[in-house]
A and B are shown apart, each in its own frame.
Chain A
Amino acid sequence: MAQPKEIFVRLDRCMGCHSCELACAVEHSQSKSLYSAISEKPTPQSRVYVEWVPPDNRLPVLCRHCEDAPCMHACICGAISRTEEGVVMTNADKCIGCWTCVMVCPYGVIGRHLQEHKAYRCDRCPDLEIPACVNSCPTKALVYRTVDEFSKDVRRVASREMLSGEGG
């Protein structure tokens, strides 16, 4: 099987504009349009969180779909499983809202939908070619790549920075 793509964060790029949060919430609304999504019930929720680290770092945080997903193993009702594409998915129909997953996620990226009494998290936008958050990011802080592609990218950037460092 080809290596699946994942959402990667380039820490140095996020400006904290929150575009990804908006795009995510809209993509996970019924209407998929910002104007109607605002008044929908249950209220559409973003699954990506732009956090601020003082003094001036910002970063989007979202489900890593961990290889050894603690949430999946801890779930007391079998609602969390991994798809063939490697996406760790919460089945809302099965979720009983016991929040065990929230208690064990070391990234803090599992949300609680209070109106629906269900846990939710990034599903990598199964209906889209490129996840909504990635697509909306104006600075390309979020990228959608395979692990190999991403590490190649990182190496390329690093070597470029080294070069420019030497030159400057």
Chain B
Amino acid sequence: MANNERRYVIIGASAAGMAAAEAIRQSDSTGFITVLSEEPVQPYFRPMIPFLISGKKSVADMTLVGQGPYSGTGIDVRLNSKAEAIDTKNQTVTVQGGDLVLYDRLLIATGSRPYIPPEIEGTEAAGVFALRTLTDALAAADCAAQADHVVMLGGGLLNLKAAFALLERGLDVTLVVYSPEVLSQLMEPDDAVLIRDALNKAGLKIMTDCSATHILSQAGGVNGVLLNSGQEMFCQMVCIGKGVFPNVNFLEQSDVQVDQGVVVDRFTACNAANVFAAGDVAVTFDPITSDRIVTGLWTNAVEMGRCAGYNMAGRTTEYTGTFGILNATQVADEPFVSMGIVHTSGTDYETHVFSTRNTYRKLVFSEDGERLVGAVFVGDISHAGLYRYVMREKMDVAKIKPFIIKHTLHYGHLLLP
């Protein structure tokens, strides 16, 4: 089939799917690009949905097409179109309702959905949320309007963002964290001290080293949470932020290889011919450790999606992986960046920690001290991208190490020998 009528089908219209669509359009101006979305709304910037809960932004403020690099030119997004199965022999996708869509190149970009721990009882009650979609956020905002006290299960970044959105609405918010400290996936307890202080000051109640066993409810919905300590807390709303897992159910009957996520090669291609995968649903790898990982990062989903798009359109492009941890944000007026290998207790990494009253940093080097492999910056995150670059390129740090440790590295150090 001539390139100019190639049919590109993308399942999932979010970071990976839409980035891929743009990349395809850049490389192939005439092929047909169809993006199937299960969701009832136009593509949007998923990380912004907490602003619907705080009320600081509207749905229109989060629209993806027409913003940043997303032109949407010649990209047909079909809403309410859940892919139910794929047939890689006949190269078709079955869409809910029975439609068959033919493809020459297929991208699986179905992302992930919240993990709801089965050991917690009562999670189906009205007033229990796991924030993932714009629809979830609107429902949570409605529920919050009737609530006084919210219990959040999980101390990850997503729950912290949601917690702040609820605090901004004037609700009482209690965070129940199984780990000894918040953000345990992104840093170690000692790294999180300043952030914890800021969260406390902002009025968030945090209970660490404990977990919920039951969500209690009556006819009207949630009315409390029972903790493993036996303590009962009254509340009218519960948010679960216990991680995510890839949306791969619809691939069960297919021959696409799944191992947690969809397995791809260095060019984002699956084992089945003409099928690619990118984003949260795909298994990727860490360029430092070479570990196979499944991530939950917008930045990676876009990068991998673009790479897949180029490959689908015939422009061979190697995907270079992503750090499993690559997060920047600001919670409670405290900016932080965490990237690469940051969990160092009990390891032999060469670690340099420096803290002041309002800043903290940890620089992690390989055991031989020759490579930078991880960094945490709290309070002052300036030039963070340079450190990421040094990590990613696996640069020999011999000449620049003092600047890295002192957090005074600048581009000149990399440019001029």
Contact = CB atoms under 8 A, between A and B. Distances in A.
Given A76-B298, A77-B48, A78-B68, A107 B335 contact: no
A100 B326 CA distance: 9
Interface in A12-46: none
A59 B415 contact: yes
Nearest to A73: B302
B125 interface: no
B335 A53 contact: no
A112 B299 contact: no
Contact of A102 (B61, B68, B303, B328): B328
A146 interface: no
B45 A107 contact: no
A86 interface: no
Contacts of A98: 47, 328-330
Interface in A97-112: 97-112
A139 interface: no
Interface in A48-99: 49, 51-53, 57, 59, 61, 70, 72-82, 94, 96-99
A106 B389 CA distance: 6
A96 B48 contact: yes
Contacts of A104: 299, 385, 388
Contacts of B328: 98-100, 102-103
Contact of B410 (A61, A74, A99): A61
A108 B416 contact: no
Interface string B284-311: 0000000000000011001100100000
A108 B383 contact: yes
B384 A99 contact: yes
B283 to A, nearest CB: 21
A112 B306 contact: no
B412 interface: yes
A111 B382 CA distance: 7
Contacts of A103: 326-328, 337, 339, 381, 384-385, 388
A75 B46 CA distance: 12
Contacts of B383: 102, 108
Interface in B170-215: none
Contacts of A72: 68-69
B366 to A, nearest CB: 20
Interface residues of A, number: 39
B160 interface: no
Contacts of B389: 106
B382 A82 contact: no
B337 A102 contact: yes
A131 to B, nearest CB: 19
B344 interface: no
Contacts of B64: 78
Given A76-B298, A94-B67, A108-B386, A99 B330 contact: yes
B111 to A, nearest CB: 14
A51 B335 contact: no
Nearest to A49: B410
Nearest to A75: B68
A57 B388 contact: no
Contacts of A73: 19, 68-69, 299, 302-303, 306
B68 A109 contact: no
Interface string A102-143: 111111111110000100000000000000000000000000
Interface string B8-49: 000000000001000000000000000000000000010110
Nearest to A69: B69
Contacts of B330: 97-99, 117
B250 interface: no
Contacts of A78: 45, 63-64, 67-68, 70
Nearest to A102: B384
A8 to B, nearest CB: 14
Contacts of A96: 48, 51
B68 A107 contact: no
A96 to B, nearest CB: 7
Nearest to A61: B411
A53 B413 contact: yes
A76 B298 CA distance: 7
Given A59-B415, A100-B328, A108-B410, A76 B385 contact: no
Given A78-B63, A103-B326, 7 more contacts: A51-B410, A57-B412, A74-B303, A82-B69, A94-B67, A106-B385, A108-B386
13 contacts: A51-B411, A53-B413, A61-B410, A73-B303, A94-B61, A99-B329, A102-B383, A103-B328, A103-B388, A106-B385, A107-B411, A108-B382, A108-B386
Interface of A: 11, 49, 51-53, 57, 59, 61, 70, 72-82, 94, 96-112, 117
